[in-house]
């Protein structure tokens, strides 16, 4: 049986551009629906939403069952959730608030098997189909088919991107404009941030490392593709539901003259 290309393999394809969204609602039904409507991937948000390991684990299996890749944004950079999420068969991880090359190296090493990192062996887990795969197959997937990403979210990190990209196990970066705008006091469209964005994208491209970000509209997604990003999260399940529900109620009240 042919193996579906992994998420990190898809990002490595020429002119790749994958579109996902944040999965903040701890519900299998919403994750399943995101897959049914055609999102390439969903990112289970364990930092800014009430996902536990259990709900994240269930989201992984549900999303993959409908052909959608699943990533997770870790709750913090301590690494406490890394091993179990990887052994749960997740397609990739994002570590929030990575500020220095040393933090990037440590955070991504926890996701990689030796010699690149310190991830432990667990080939009777879901990542190896509960032991149906061999240990060698489990190790090969973990080494070559998992996205190990960091989020760049402050000015100092943007300015140190060359050092961050040297982290041996790192294979993806994500620019978080929300925290970046908060820490810098500048809007995401400010020329200073756009210049730093271009620097990150150029450095990542030179290293062959895909770069992603989060956006709110299709027009912003188009800009990101043209700028050189390889993946974006657009909106979030909570936002999609809230806006659709509000529009429905507004339209209904208007139609009823209420």
Q: Reduced to 3 states, what is the DSSP secondary structure of residue 74? A: coil
The angle at the Cα of 80, spanning 77 to 83, to the nearest 5 degrees, equals: 110
**Proportion of the chain in helix, strand, coil states, percent, rounded to 5:** 45, 15, 35
Q: Distance between CA atoms of 28 and 79, rounded to whole angstroms?
A: 25
Closest CA to 56 of 97, 14, 27: 27
Q: Distance between CA atoms of 206 and 74, rounded to whole angstroms?
A: 27
Q: Distance between CA atoms of 244 and 240, rounded to whole angstroms?
A: 6
Residue 25 CB: number of other CB atoms within 10 A? Answer: 21
Active site residue 190: no
Q: Distance between CA atoms of 51 and 195, rounded to whole angstroms?
A: 35
Active-site option among 48, 51, 145, 243 = 48
Residue 224 CB: number of other CB atoms within 10 A? Answer: 24
CA atoms within 13 A on the CB side of 227: 23
The catalytic residues are: 48
């Amino acid at each position: 049986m042919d193996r579906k290309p992994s998420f990190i393999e898809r990002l490595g394809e020429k002119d790749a551009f994958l579109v996902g969204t944040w999965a903040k609602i701890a519900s299998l039904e919403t994750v399943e629906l995101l897959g049914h409507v055609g999102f390439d991937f969903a990112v289970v948000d364990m930092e800014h939403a009430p996902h536990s390991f259990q709900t994240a684990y269930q989201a992984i299996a549900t999303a993959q069952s409908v052909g959608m890749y699943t990533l997770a944004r870790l709750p913090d950079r301590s690494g406490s959730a890394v091993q179990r999420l990887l052994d749960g068969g997740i397609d990739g991880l994002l570590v929030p608030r990575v500020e220095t090359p040393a933090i990037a190296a440590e955070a991504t090493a926890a996701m990689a098997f030796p010699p690149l990192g310190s991830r432990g062996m667990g080939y009777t887990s879901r990542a190896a189909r509960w032991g149906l795969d061999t240990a060698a197959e489990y190790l090969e997937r973990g080494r070559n088919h998992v996205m190990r990403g960091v989020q760049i979210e402050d000015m100092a990190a943007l300015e140190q991107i060359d050092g961050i990209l040297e982290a041996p196990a790192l294979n993806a970066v994500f620019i978080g404009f929300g925290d970046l705008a908060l820490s810098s006091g500048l809007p995401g469209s400010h020329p200073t941030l756009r210049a730093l964005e271009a620097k990150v994208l150029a450095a990542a491209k030179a290293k062959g490392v895909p770069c992603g970000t989060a956006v709110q509209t299709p027009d912003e997604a188009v800009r990101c593709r043209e700028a050189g990003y390889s993946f974006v999260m657009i909106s979030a399940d909570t936002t999609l539901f809230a806006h659709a529900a509000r529009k429905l109620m507004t339209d209904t009240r208007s139609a009823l003259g209420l």
